[in-house]
């Protein structure tokens, strides 16, 4: 930020220095995905990348008016799909099983020549389930539909190769792997049929007008290179930390439930239902103890709505509201895991004794989902 103030689109000397920095960052991000540098389009983050993929494919769809996705996607996929549905597109949302997995064969069967776009998360943001997409990619290829994967939760947590996955588009985000906020990218295969949604300049192969976030892109490239070089060792380390925490919590909290698969899950994502407490009460009490966790739900007008992911997976509204997501990551140490295990069990007992939670009627879950 101090050394390079040039615009990468400018022809003068400082602009060209900035351009070289930008293209080096593009190479590094491409390397994390097994892609060619020219296929990387820098964006402001995962949400913009998902919007570009979805609205861009819809604009280029011609007569095709059908889109296939799932009921457990991130809101930056579901909200654009709802907008397109209101404009006359048919949106098919596939249901997951109780572990948060999409049946790949059923998904493939839903793809025909009327489908413009298939858009799915490679890893679910809330429960960490890894989707098996090979049959889906093949069906999309046969139908000549655009296939988009949201890999914001997958990059840096599992090996990724865009060619072997068979996708046309892929979303990634820097802050998910320890990089700066406000920068992301969309892998866009050269043959992918999408139109830009931000107009007014030739930047990013004409796919995204505007002066790029050069410091963000450079930071993204730096962390992408670090993550790629340490991927195997770091994922093994985080898996060990997560397993230690999970075993300790199961031993200390009767009735604790893991949401999502035991296997086929990225190691950093633990979604747990804590019996007898509201998730938001437990979250706030843990925050006071120095343990930061999250709920896979949105707060609106002071009320926390049950997670749409957990509801779609068949959980009751009460179970969904009693669930928290715990995510060890690259800064997490063995000592912090031991501290968190003790604090979570201790705080859960205190909160459960202070405010026992009456079971909500399952009908409330359906009402909330509507």
- Whether the CB-CB separation of 109 and 138 falls below 8 Å is answered with no
- Whether the CB-CB separation of 94 and 106 falls below 8 Å is answered with yes
Task: Decide if pLDDT at 296 tops 90.
Answer: no
- Whether the CB-CB separation of 236 and 266 falls below 8 Å is answered with no
Taking the C-alpha atoms of residue 67 and residue 117, their distance in angstroms, rounded to an integer, is 5
| pLDDT, average across residues 103-111 | 96
Q: Would you state the pLDDT for residue 357?
A: 60
| pLDDT, average across residues 142-148 | 97
Q: Would you state the pLDDT for residue 5?
A: 75
Q: Can you tell me which residue has the tokens 């899950």?
A: 265
Task: Decide if pLDDT at 370 tops 60.
Answer: no
Q: Would you state the pLDDT for residue 62?
A: 92
| pLDDT tens-digit readout, 157-179 | 999 999 999 999 999 999 999 99
| pLDDT tens-digit readout, 216-255 | 999 999 999 999 999 999 999 999 999 999 999 999 999 9
Q: What are phi and psi of 188, to 5 degrees?
A: -135, 100
| pLDDT tens-digit readout, 299-344 | 433 446 899 999 999 999 999 999 999 999 989 999 999 999 999 9
Establish whether 299 is a catalytic residue. yes
Q: Are strands 169-173 and 184-188 parallel, antiparallel or unpaired?
A: antiparallel
Instruction: Tell me the CA end-to-end span of the chain in Å, nearest whole number.
Output: 46
Confidence band for 356, pLDDT divided at 50, 70 and 90: low
Q: Which of 5, 167, 188, 299 is catalytic?
A: 299
To the nearest 10°, the Cα dihedral for 304, 309, 315, 321? -20
Q: Would you state the pLDDT for residue 365?
A: 41
In this structure, what DSSP letter does residue 159 have?
-
Please enumerate in sequence order all residues whose Cβ is within 8 A of that of 159, keeping only pairs 6 or more positions apart, or say none: 231
Q: Would you state the pLDDT for residue 268?
A: 92
| pLDDT, average across residues 263-292 | 95
Q: Would you state the pLDDT for residue 144?
A: 97
Taking the C-alpha atoms of residue 133 and residue 119, their distance in angstroms, rounded to an integer, is 11
Task: Decide if pLDDT at 298 tops 70.
Answer: no
Confidence band for 360, pLDDT divided at 50, 70 and 90: very low
Q: Would you state the pLDDT for residue 97?
A: 97
Confidence band for 7, pLDDT divided at 50, 70 and 90: confident
Q: Would you state the pLDDT for residue 181?
A: 96
Of residues 273, 279, 284, the one with CA closest to residue 127: 273
Taking the C-alpha atoms of residue 268 and residue 226, their distance in angstroms, rounded to an integer, is 18
- Whether the CB-CB separation of 51 and 198 falls below 8 Å is answered with no
Domains of the chain: 13-229 (3.40.640.10), 231-369 (3.90.1150.10)
Taking the C-alpha atoms of residue 327 and residue 271, their distance in angstroms, rounded to an integer, is 9
Q: Would you state the pLDDT for residue 304?
A: 63
Q: Would you state the pLDDT for residue 32?
A: 97
């Amino acid at each position: 930020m101090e050394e390079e103030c040039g615009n990468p689109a400018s022809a003068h000397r400082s602009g060209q220095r900035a351009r070289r920095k930008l293209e080096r960052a593009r190479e590094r991000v491409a390397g994390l995905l097994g892609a060619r540098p020219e296929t990387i389009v820098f964006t402001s983050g995962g949400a913009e990348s998902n919007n570009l993929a979805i609205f861009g494919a819809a604009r280029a769809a011609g007569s095709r008016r059908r889109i296939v996705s799932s009921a457990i996607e991130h809101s930056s996929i579901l909200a654009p799909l709802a907008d397109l549905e209101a404009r006359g597109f048919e949106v098919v949302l596939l249901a997951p099983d109780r572990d948060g997995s999409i049946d790949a064969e059923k998904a493939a069967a839903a793809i025909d020549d009327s489908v413009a776009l298939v858009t799915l998360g490679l890893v679910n943001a809330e429960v960490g389930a890894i989707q098996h997409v090979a049959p889906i990619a093949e069906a999309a290829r046969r139908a000549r539909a655009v296939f988009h994967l949201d890999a914001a939760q997958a990059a840096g947590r599992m090996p990724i190769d865009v060619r072997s996955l068979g996708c046309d588009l892929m979303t990634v985000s820097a802050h998910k792997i320890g990089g700066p906020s406000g920068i992301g990218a969309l892998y866009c295969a050269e043959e992918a049929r999408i139109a830009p949604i931000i107009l007014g300049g030739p930047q990013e192969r004409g796919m995204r007008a505007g002066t790029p976030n050069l410091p963000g892109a450079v930071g993204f490239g730096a962390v992408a290179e670090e993550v790629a070089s340490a991927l195997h060792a770091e994922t093994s380390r985080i898996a060990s930390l997560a397993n230690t925490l999970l075993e300790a919590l199961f031993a200390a909290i009767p009735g604790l439930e893991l949401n999502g698969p035991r296997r086929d899950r990225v190691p950093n994502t633990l979604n747990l239902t804590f019996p007898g407490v509201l998730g938001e009460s437990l979250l706030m009490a843990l925050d006071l103890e120095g343990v930061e966790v999250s709920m896979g739900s949105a707060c609106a007008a002071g009320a926390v709505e049950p997670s749409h992911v957990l509801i779609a997976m068949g959980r009751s509204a009460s179970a969904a509201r009693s669930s928290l997501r715990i995510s060890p990551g690259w800064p997490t140490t063995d000592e912090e895991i031991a501290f968190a295990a003790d604090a979570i069990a201790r705080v859960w007992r205190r909160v459960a004794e202070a405010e026992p939670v009456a079971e909500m009627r399952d009908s409330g879950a359906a009402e909330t989902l509507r």
